[in-house]
Structure 1
Amino acid sequence: MAIKIKDKEFEVFISKDQIRKRLKELGIQISKDFDGQNLVLIGVLNGSFIVMADLCREIKVASQEIKFLKISSYSGTHSTGVIKEEMGFSSDLKGKNILIVEDIVDTGESMNYLLGKLKGLSPASVSIATLLYKPEAFRYNYPIHYVGFEIPNKFVVGYGLDYDGMGRELPDIYQLA
């Protein structure tokens, strides 16, 4: 099924059932890796809010703190390469296990920026979970610990991802047709 958002056509790429199954698998792995520990999940807004909500319910650890921050680098369908911090870290993260939750890691610019900011806050550990990862676009060598799906370097929308603010509510992920 194809949909139109503004001036672009999109087709289903990853179904809501595939997403749900993969997030359950990631939750099991994260739960094993942090068994008996406290974990601070930091969602990167705006895109991660749906992934964060579904993933945190699948993680079973001693305790979870849920936090959000907001940065942006996109304009339309392309990254500008400039990171704007719109809402930063609001609490002490020293000595805590951090799991950054992203909707998508493509060039890696935003995540590189966040990793630099976190390093100065002295957490016990920092791990990255992302629903989508574009290895063809990725420009860095830091590890992405939990990947839902590796995808080609195509623009996607839905399940929190947007095209100029539209399409976040879609339950499936669509790619540019």
Structure 2
Amino acid sequence: MDAAHMGADLEKVLITEEEIHARLDELATEIWAEYEGKDLLLVGVLKGAVMVMADLSRALPGTAPVDWMAVSSYGSGTKSSGVVRILKDLDTDITGKHVLIVEDIVDSGLTLSWIKANLESRSPASVEICTLLRKPEAAKVEIDVKWVGFDIANEFVVGYGLDYAENYRNLREVGTLAPHVYA
């Protein structure tokens, strides 16, 4: 689905499909320069990272296995408390592997901070983070994100894996929803 099919639901496009793919190509080149010849595992965080993981992994000039985690954060409504429960754990033993967490967006950092600490406790060679989007103004904890696609303002965005009520994930761009959708 592209922005033209969203009608009045989309307020504006922030990042086009072309900009996303160009940036993921750049990130893949940087990531491969760091990990070429190493035992790299890409770990996507479900559900939002599906699109980023697919396109980033295809942009890598070499092979890297992927695995997935799904977590749930407890909190009220749209606010995360940082209290996390694993819904789907990795199928892969990460002992001695270089783990790259692939995310769609980093906002408060609370859940991602928990995921990183959890993975670091499993004796990997390293754990780093790559995210398509980061909201610096929304950060509640400091978290080192090694590769960032785009820094964006602290507004609610959808598309390219990001959803509102499980909708809009398949939008090819990243954009903001019109207020009438979530009001």
**TM-score, normalised to structure 2's length?**
0.87
Q: CA deviation at 1:176?
A: 3.3
Q: SS of 1:84's equivalent?
A: strand
Structure 1 residue 72 corresponds to structure 2 residue 72: yes
Q: SS of 1:126's equivalent?
A: strand
CA distance in 1, matches of 2:145, 2:161: 19
Alignment size in residue pairs: 174
Which runs of no fewer than 5 residues in structure 1 stay unpaired? none
Q: Partner residue of 1:83?
A: 84
User: Structure 1 segments of 4 or more deviating over 6 A?
Assistant: 74-77
Which runs of no fewer than 5 residues in structure 2 stay unpaired? 179-183
Structure 1 residue 10 corresponds to structure 2 residue 11: yes
Q: SS of 1:144's equivalent?
A: coil
Equivalence map 1:74-153=2 (5 Å): 78-81=78-81, 82-153=83-154
Q: CA deviation at 1:45?
A: 0.3
Q: SS of 1:116's equivalent?
A: helix
What is the identity, as a one-letter code, of the residue corresponding to 1:44?
V
CA distance in 1, matches of 2:118, 2:45: 13
Q: CA deviation at 1:11?
A: 1.9
- Give yes or no for contact 1:77–1:163 (8 Å, CA) kept in 2: no
Q: CA deviation at 1:65?
A: 1.4
Distance 1:76 1:158, change over 3 A: farther
Q: Partner residue of 2:56?
A: 55
- Give yes or no for contact 2:15–2:175 (8 Å, CA) kept in 1: yes
TM-superposition CA deviations, 1:60-88 (whole Å, max 9, x none): 34x41110111133889823324332111
Structure 1 residue 24 corresponds to structure 2 residue 16: no
Higher strand proportion, which one?
Answer: 1
CA distance in 1, matches of 2:119, 2:153: 29
- Give yes or no for contact 1:97–1:126 (8 Å, CA) kept in 2: yes
- Give yes or no for contact 1:75–1:164 (8 Å, CA) kept in 2: no
**TM-score, normalised to structure 1's length?**
0.90
Between the aligned residues of both structures, percent identity stands at 40
- Give yes or no for contact 1:76–1:164 (8 Å, CA) kept in 2: no
